[in-house]
Amino acid sequence: MTLDEALLFCPLIAILRGVRPDEVLDHAEALAEAGVRAIEVPLNSPEPLDSVARLAYALGDDCLCGAGTVLTVAEVEAVARAGAGLIVSPNTAPAVIARAVALGLSPVPGIATATEAFAAIDAGARHLKLFPARTYGPDHLRQLRAVLPAGVTVLAVGGVGPADMAAWWAAGARGFGLGSELYRPGQTPADTAAKAHRAVAATLELSK
C-alpha cells in the first residue's frame, strides 16, 4: 500500500511512541480495525526495529507500516531491512529523504518554513509533515500551501486532535499524525480502539 492510498482510505498516521514489541500488534490491529492504514513506531521507542518488523510482517498487506523520528541514512536502511515502507522524520534532512526514495520507501520529513519545504521536495519528498503543527497554526499552513506544488501533500502533526481537524483541513492539510490522541504507553488495546474509532469518525466529517 502506498502512502497516498493509505491516506485516501483514512487521512491518519498513527504514532505508537513508546510501544513495546510484545504489545505492538495488539494496538496496531485495533487501529487497523478502526480504519487506520498508516502506522509508525518512533525509533526512540523500546526495541523499535523489532516492533517495525512485526508490524510489516503481520499488517504489511493492509497497512503502510514504518518508523518515526528517523534522523540518519543508517536508520533509513535499518527500517528498510525490517521490511517497512514509511519513513517519518521531525526535520528536513535531504540525505535521509533521498535514501528513502532510492530504497522505494515513503519519506515524510518535518518542515516548518517554505525553505525547508522546498528543500524536502527537491530531495524527493512528496509528503510533508508540518511539525509541530500546533506551534504554527492553520494560518501558517494556508500561506505555505499557496506556494507549494499541488501534488505535494501536507500533514499536520504535533498537538493536533480530532477537534482541530476541520480547521486544518480548511487550511490545506490532507492528513494528520496522531500520537497521544491515539496511544499512550500503558493503555490497553481497548483504549486504543476507542480512541481510533473517535479519530476516524472525525475524519469522515471532513469530506462532508
Annotation says 195 is catalytic: no
Site of grid cell 510484545: 22
Q: Could you report the per-residue pLDDT of 102-161, keeping only the tens digit for each?
A: 999 999 999 999 999 999 999 999 999 999 999 999 999 999 999 999 999 999 999 999
For 28-83, write each residue's pLDDT tens digit. Answer: 999 999 999 999 999 999 999 999 999 999 999 999 999 999 999 999 999 999 99
pLDDT higher than threshold 90 for residue 207: no
**Percent helix, percent strand, percent coil in the chain, to nearest 5:** 45, 15, 40
For CA atoms 10, 16, 22, 23, give the dihedral sign: negative
pLDDT at 2 over 90: yes
Q: What is the pTM of this model?
A: 0.97
Q: Is 208 a catalytic residue?
A: no
Beta strand ranges found along the chain (DSSP E): 12-15, 38-42, 64-68, 86-88, 106-108, 110-111, 127-130, 153-157, 176-178
Which position among 40, 75, 181, 195 bears the catalytic label?
40
Residue 184 pLDDT > 90: yes
Which of the residues 23, 75, 129, 181 is marked catalytic?
129
- Asked if residue 208 has pLDDT above 90, the reply is no
Mean pLDDT throughout 161-185?
Answer: 97
